[in-house]
Amino acid sequence: MKIPKRKLFLLIIFAYVAFSLYAAYNVFFSTKVISRVHRVVKKETVSGGVRDGGGAPFLARDWNPWEDEQVDYNSALTKKREAFKQHLARIDKNKATRYRVQIWGKAAIGIYLWEHILEGPLNPTDKVAQWREGELQSGKIDFSFYTGPAVVQGHVPLDMNSLVLVLNGREPQKVSYSTRWLEHVQALVKSRTVSHVAVVLLGNEHCHNDFIGPYLKRNGGFVDLLFVVYDSPWVNDKDVFQWPLGVATYRQFPMIRPNAQLITSNRPYLCNFLGTVYKNSSRETLMQVLKKSGLEEECITNAREKWLPQETADSLRQYQTALVQSELTLCPVGINSECYRIYEACSYGSVPVVEDVLTPGSCAAGSSSPLRLLKAAGAPFIFISDWKELAAILERERGMSQEQRVDRRRRLLEWYAGFRQQMKERFTEVLEENFFKNV
């Protein structure tokens, strides 16, 4: 059969190309790949890897002429995978060492805990908003905080099993309200919705806190930890801890950030006292001392006969002005020796002059009482046992230089910042140790 010239020409071209490729393959194999063949054969020492008698080598069934490149690639890939696994392990480990705690602020001291001690944000910023919340990290704990009148039983988001409840136990009405919250949380514990519970309690000023006793775990209850204001005899630093009263957040006293002017300004007054003067109290003695000594012009005073539960915008501004313009803030006892005024004076760098006497009631009596928490923290206050000592104190104040006053003011502000930080660390560490030690 005669082949057409066109097809014959194509066959010749195809044969030429095939021959060229075959020749190139032989050259490449003989010069570039043969060494790989030998290496593969040397690796195959089991039967079938080399012909009997040491004859010519043959290729292992799974031989790959690009083995070296593949090994390098696989090695790099393995390293990347291992590094990624380690990265994931670190993430998992970090997740494992972070814990979650929710705080329900059902008393005004919850704001002091959240904004002044933990320094957490609150949204919205409106202080009288019905619902406010915030989140922060402290130590190994991620905290979330809810407060406001709209935070009611059964309507607070709860996606964690560790809870801190902030309550007020000062008077019967507050105790009744707090008891209802305790019973609500007790039901959550029984249903295993909540596993760990701590309470921050604004205690009774006479230290009569028996209402919460049955709820403590030491007495068969469910409350693991209690942080209580005032010198309670229950404090043992194991499951009951003393907590600072703080500033009067219920009167909208703000968080003050120190600045240079607060430290270095020339304050025109030696002292201040704005408050209620109760009949037959040491506060009457205080006012008499100021009047007899002719010190009324050197101190800002505004005494009233009746206690007012709320501040107006004007009265709050007057009070803050008195603090920032006075070297000393006079802090006579009320129902208890510990008062908001002490912490508010510290906020503005005005040294508290504290009446160091034990008030009636069931609070702990001892060598460090009253105000043992502040004394243990080394509070740089002026402690007196009788307001008749005030005249001599103010006389010494007159002799101080501006440099000495500025230095003392700085030290007070630094101490107060350090005290709050100490309370923050203590609070966080106690929760970590008691809630998560077995996690």
pLDDT tens-digit series, residues 85-96: 565 555 555 555
pLDDT at residue 315, rounded to an integer = 85
Tell me how far apart the alpha carbons of residues 96 and 117 are, in angstroms, rounded to a whole number.
26
Please, which residues have CB within 8 angstroms of residue 328's CB and are 6 or more apart in sequence? 270, 271, 272, 350, 351, 352, 353, 382, 393, 394, 397
pLDDT at residue 305, rounded to an integer = 58
Domains (range + CATH), the chain: 99-243 (3.40.50), 251-423 (3.40.50.2000)
Low-confidence ranges of the chain (pLDDT < 70): 1-96, 304-311, 439
pLDDT tens-digit series, residues 267-299: 999 999 998 887 778 888 898 888 887 777 889
pTM of structure: 0.77
pLDDT at residue 49, rounded to an integer = 38
Give me the chain's average pLDDT, please: 84
pLDDT at residue 97, rounded to an integer = 76
pLDDT tens-digit series, residues 347-376: 999 999 999 999 999 999 988 999 999 999
pLDDT at residue 195, rounded to an integer = 96
